[in-house]
Chains A and B, each alone.
Chain A
Amino acid sequence: QQNVQQSPESLIVPEGARTSLNCTFSDSASQYFWWYRQHSGKAPKALMSIFSNGEKEEGRFTIHLNKASLHFSLHIRDSQPSDSALYLCAAAASSGSWQLIFGSGTQLTVMP
């Protein structure tokens, strides 16, 4: 049974900072890795995904995946107050019929 853990639980950073959010997963056969973002009172929305080891960049956001260490992360460059939200990581493996299992979330606050 897949177990996905996120750290830290909450994070407060100043505007312009580089922010790093972490996620570990338990099933070494996991193949699909996602970050979702949820602004207060809103639905979660997909931010980025990665399906192979390495790094993927989209604008100010970068995902790193290291399957051997069962770890992936999200890095935000030049953090903005609009980035303040709950960030949810998720992973999918065959043990879960390829359905996403989510972590408990990191609450990010970017102070102006």
Chain B
Amino acid sequence: EAAVTQSPRNKVTVTGGNVTLSCRQTNSHNYMYWYRQDTGHGLRLIHYSYGAGNLQIGDVPDGYKATRTTQEDFFLLLELASPSQTSLYFCASSDLGGSETLYFGSGTRLTVL
């Protein structure tokens, strides 16, 4: 089973704060993703990457930056956090995008006060 590790598990910050969510996969997958999950909206794609140094924009990118530093590591950055970004964030990885299984991390619950 593919392994995707997210940190931290929980994070509380204030409006305007700076937050970095981390994700590491150890499966040599090409694709890595950041999703947010909110009640009534399912999973919404923020950003994704198909390799180190690559970044693709998802469906809800506003207010988020991301960086893929290595094959294994993908970071989500909130530089001026807002209460609307309070959510459960999932990182995922896969080998070939939509035709292959996505493996999800355990999630990071972010609260912006």
Contact = CB atoms under 8 A, between A and B. Distances in A.
Interface string A69-89: 000000000000000000010
Identify the interface centre among B35, B42, B48, B97: most chain A CB within 10 Å of its CB.
B42
B104 interface: yes
Nearest to A104: B42
Interface residues of A, number: 26
A97 interface: yes
Given A43-B105, A88-B43, A100 B90 contact: no
B99 A32 contact: yes
B40 A100 contact: no
A102 B44 CA distance: 7
A103 B107 CA distance: 19
Interface of A: 1, 6, 31-32, 34, 36, 42-46, 49, 51, 88, 90, 92, 96-105
Contacts of A43: 90, 104-107
A6 B43 CA distance: 13
Interface string B21-59: 000000000000101000011111100100000001011
A39 B42 CA distance: 14
B78 interface: no
Interface residues of B, number: 22
19 contacts: A6-B42, A32-B98, A36-B102, A43-B105, A43-B107, A44-B43, A44-B102, A46-B101, A46-B102, A49-B101, A88-B43, A92-B99, A99-B48, A99-B58, A99-B98, A100-B102, A101-B59, A102-B42, A103-B42
Interface in B60-83: none
A86 B76 CA distance: 25
A107 to B, nearest CB: 10
A51 B99 contact: yes
A105 B56 contact: no
B97 A92 contact: yes
Nearest to B59: A101
Contacts of A90: 43, 98
